[in-house]
Structure 1
Amino acid sequence: MTVLVTGGAGYIGSHMVWALLDAGERVVVVDRLSTGFEWAVAPEAELIHADVSDTAAIAEIIRAHGIEAIIHFAGSISVPESLADPLGYYQNNTANSLALIRTAIATGVKQFVFSSTAAVYGTPRSDGAIAENTPTVPESPYGASKLMTETMLADAAAAHEFRYAALRYFNVSGADPLGRTGQSTRGAANLIKVATEAAMGKRDGIEVFGSDYPTRDGTCIRDFIHVTDLVAAHLDALTYLRAGGDSLVANCGYGRGYTVREVLDSVRRLSGRDFEVRLGPRREGDIVTSVADSTRARTVLGWTPRHDDLDKIVGSALAWEAALARSNHTIDEPAEQSSRRIVLDWTPPHDDMEEIVGNALAFAPVLARRRHSR
């Protein structure tokens, strides 16, 4: 049996592919490579250039490869972008997901794991952790487009022999601890990604949108989850569905929140570098506080996070940025053949960073080799 991963050349999807392969699964990736990268896909997985909205192509892939489960990441993920282009988000996230769900049911796929988001909740009515029964009042087309897909999945499961798990992510960050993949998306807006780029000199600083929120330091609070723990939750969800578990929605987060300023302090401390922080006005669509109650994922799916530490998340992101920065190439251009080793140009301020540095150094030849192998 084989698992189909849509969007498997992207940030979270590429980590998912490695996790599935590590678990002994056979994996087929479908990606149109609009934001993902061919080199990011593990060489043991089969990559097919296709769009999930192409029902004929997806049906043929499912039949030809004996696909028995789909993990669906393909989609657009920016709140500000969704406000500027709402119809594009409803097309890419909702209409294309509808096409994929229809194809899955028509071809007999019975397990479906969906990449949803905490943006479906909107602004919580209280300061406590957000549980799955919290009212869903999305404040952006991004959140609304994901909630619509959840509704389609629920209705499809009620009408067909088809079960799903919709995982509502909080703030996904970090990189594979083994250095095999990380966030490489062009123009990524993820706070930790942007801050680590600033620390590595790839940006001239970072803008903080709003410093007058009713929080402990005036900046927004977010629940940051390591991408490795997130894909582990997907693997647990797949195992649960295969064992006959009922369809469900589950939050993925640690249940603790950090302010924007606290994240920036962690990046400065671990990198040993300062960078400019520009305080700007609040940004439309941003939520003040977003922290997960992940009890359901832990108890029903058996999910056990292993990287619940802000410094560990930031450290893995810094190691990835260091590897990219010193390998003499850009994300879109292959490295020179001779560029096989990375020399980090920052020094860790304490012993806890030794493992991070080691991972970055070890990853240098892997990064170069995989770019040339595709």
Structure 2
Amino acid sequence: MTAHVLVTGGAGFIGSHTVDLLIREGYAVTVLDSLEKGHRAAVHPEAAFVQGDCGDPVLLDMIFAERPVDAVLHFAAYIEAGESMREPGRFFVNNTARPMVLLDAMMRAGVKQFVFSSTAATYGEPLYTPIDEKHPQSPTNAYGYAKLLVEGALDWMHRLRGLDYAALRYFNASGCSERLGEDHHPETHLIPLILDVAAGRRDAIKLFGTDYPTPDGTCIRDYIHVEDLAAAHLLALRALGKGTPLIYNLGNGQGYSVRQVIDVARRITGHPIPVEVEPRRAGDPAVLVASSDKIRQELGWEPRYPSLESIVQSTWNWRRQHPVGYGA
């Protein structure tokens, strides 16, 4: 019998890539997405689609009653850390309260397998790098804390209700597949913003801080291709059932500075990509790099697209084919 999974936020960037992989691997998929941030065109045509709120208990009960669900993968969330500091209540409602309603509906329906899209923002300012899963979790923004609250709830649901779950804490999701791309409104991720300059959609890329204690003075981040993230979610889903929570960091284990990303984009696009230097942003750590040794050793995960060049090239390819994103 074909396994049936519910993917919340399956019209979003990471969720849609994961849905595509699940369908290629033979899963039956239902996507639940409000389309507040996601795109209907990003949903795989073979996936069942329900437009709605993952915090709507009546709708959730209907979905679980219509067809048995074997597992839930939860991607639906607001993602912009800076916005979370301006509108914390909105983030706690969407990123914490709505997942609680979803988990409660799962328990009513007897669905006990859950893969949670968490974040490296739960760690906060790094005490050491690369960051492993034993690093203390002390978020420095409301976004990270909202996700950490869900992780805590998952642990209690595991202990009290037998929930079998995985929490995947990832770093800078990036890249595109041939079919799917990154199309946020507004866009806040570095690589798409740089490529906006190459595409003539903005005049220059803002460089926030050039005096960090790094080799070139700019922040270093760990970029991970979205298709590698999707593969990790599939591995985590398949690994559920062992009776213990699965907690994994996802990254390439190497960092690239902002200047390095700009230089790679210049080579790939052939555009000079002018830079405007701005002061540091408050709360930006100098270096954020992941250790993904645990998921490599336990689940055999290996990134297929670890190079910065492959990440930037795939993004540039998609953007040239979709100059106005999913509105093309």
**TM-score (norm: length of structure 2):** 0.97
Amino acid in the other structure paired with 1:112: F
> 2: CA distance between counterparts of 1:284 and 1:32?
32
1:210-267 deviation digits (Å, cap 9, x = unpaired): 111111111111000000000100000000004x352121000011000011001000
- Aligned alpha-carbon RMSD (Å): 1.2
Paired residues of 2:319 and 2:325 also in contact (CA < 8 A): no
* Matching of residue 210 in structure 1 with residue 212 in structure 2: no
**What is residue 345 of structure 1 aligned with on the other side?**
none
Q: Which runs of 4+ in 1 moved over 6 A?
A: none
**Deviation readout 1:4-37 (Å, 9 max, x if unpaired):** 0000011111101101011110000000000111
Distance in 2 (alpha carbons) for counterparts of 1:250 and 1:30: 25
SS of 2:322's equivalent in the other structure is helix
Q: SS of 1:172's equivalent?
A: strand
Shift of 1:197: 1.6
- 1:287-366 matches, cutoff 5 A: 287-325=285-323, 330-331=324-325, 333=327, 335=328
Amino acid paired to 1:212: D
Alpha-carbon distance in 2 for matches of 1:189, 1:245: 38
CA contact (8 A) 1:53 1:96 kept: yes
Question: Following superposition of structure 1 onto structure 2, how do residues 83-122 of structure 1 map, counting pairs within 5 Å?
Answer: 83-122=85-124
**For residues 325 and 270 of structure 2, what CA distance do their matches in structure 1 show?**
25
Alpha-carbon distance in structure 2 between the residues aligned to 1:233 and 1:314 = 20
- % identity of equivalent residues: 44
Deviations 1:150-209 (A, max 9, x none): 001011101012111000011010001xx1101011111111111112111122221111
Change (3 A) 1:118 1:272: same
Is 1:184–2:186 an aligned residue pair? no
Deviations along 1:266-307, one digit per CA (max 9) or x if unpaired, are 001111111221111111232221111111111122212111
SS in 1 for 2:214: coil
Look up the match of 2:164. Answer: 163
| 2:240 alignment counterpart | 241
Whole-Å separation in 1 of the counterparts to 2:105 and 2:300: 30
Superposition pairs for residues 3-152 of structure 1, below 5 Å? 3-126=5-128, 128-152=129-153
Conservation of the 8 A alpha-carbon contact between 1:9 and 1:33: yes
Aligned length: 326
Alpha-carbon displacement from aligned partner over 1:131-155 (angstroms, at most 9, x marks no partner)? 0010111100011111111001011
1:332 CA displacement:
6.4
2:115 partner amino acid: V
Moved more, 275-284 or 79-88: 275-284
Moved more, 279-288 or 133-142: 279-288
Cα pair 1:132 1:251 within 8 Å, conserved: yes
Contact 2:209/2:218, CA 8 A, preserved across alignment: yes
In the alignment, the residues of structure 2 paired with residue 246 and residue 187 of structure 1 have an alpha-carbon distance, to the nearest angstrom, of 38
Unaligned runs of 5+ in 2: none
